[in-house]
Amino acid sequence: MKNAFKEGRVLRYCFLEDSGSANGNDIITHIRNPSAKQEVSYNRWHKKMRVAVECAFGRWKQKFAILNEKIRVTPKRAAKVIIACAVLHNMMMDMGCLCQREL
């Protein structure tokens, strides 16, 4: 994952984690005590992406009340609920609906 970043390759997806998780094929964390320019740049990128994701979750929770509490359905159905919220959010953005009320 970090090599792809250094080489400028675009990855299809990855999971951004904090330092409590270990790096894996699809999971990336920040570099502790970065020494090279690329490592500092990578950490800066990682931080920006985590902030963007956390802000997106915050906006979704403002719009979709179901996301404010534990979803009491099977994991498969919970995934469908989250995908539905994402699709609705994107449709609202495409239509210019900037409302902040709950749905």
pLDDT of residue 76: 92
40 pLDDT above the threshold of 90: yes
- 40 neighbors 58 (Cβ within 8 angstroms): no
pLDDT of residue 74: 92
pLDDT (mean) for 58-74: 88
Measured from the Cβ of residue 18, the count of other Cβ atoms closer than 10 Å reads: 9
- 8 neighbors 41 (Cβ within 8 angstroms): no
Q: What is the mean pLDDT of the chain?
A: 81
pTM: 0.62
The Cβ-side half-sphere exposure at 58, using a 13 Å CA radius, reads 6
Across 4-102, the runs of DSSP E, i.e. the strands, are 15-16, 27-28
Query: Where residue 56 falls among pLDDT bands split at 50, 70, 90?
Result: confident
Domain ranges of the chain: 2-94
pLDDT of residue 29: 81
Structure tokens at 41: 């740049």
